[in-house]
Amino acid sequence: MSLGLAIVGHGKMGKLIERLAPEHGFEVRAKFDGRNNGNAQALSRETLRGVDVAVEFTAPQAALENIRRLAVLGVNAVVGTTGWLEQLASAREAVEQGKTGLVWAPNFSVGVNLFFDVVAHAAALFAGHSEYEAWGWEIHHGAKKDELSGTLKKLAEEMRAAAGKKGFFEFKEILGELG
Ligand SMILES: NC(=O)c1ccc[n+]([C@@H]2O[C@H](COP(=O)([O-])OP(=O)(O)OC[C@H]3O[C@@H](n4cnc5c(N)ncnc54)[C@H](OP(=O)(O)O)[C@@H]3O)[C@@H](O)[C@H]2O)c1
Cβ of 107 less than 6 Å from ligand 1: yes
Atom nearest to 106 CA in ligand 1: 1
**37-73, pLDDT tens digit by residue?**
988 899 999 999 999 999 999 999 999 999 999 999 9
Helix (H) or strand (E) holding 77: strand 76-79
Distance CA 59, CA 83 (A): 8
Catalytic choice (10, 140, 153, 154): 140
Cβ of 81 less than 6 Å from ligand 1: yes
Confidence at residue 138, expressed as pLDDT on a 0 to 100 scale: 76
Task: Please tell me the distance between residue 57's alpha carbon and the centre of ligand 1 in angstroms.
Answer: 4
State the distance between the two ends of the chain, measured CA to CA, in whole angstroms. 43
Cβ of 64 less than 6 Å from ligand 1: no
pLDDT, block means (10 residues), the chain with 179 residues = 95 97 97 94 97 97 97 98 92 98 94 93 87 75 70 84 60 45
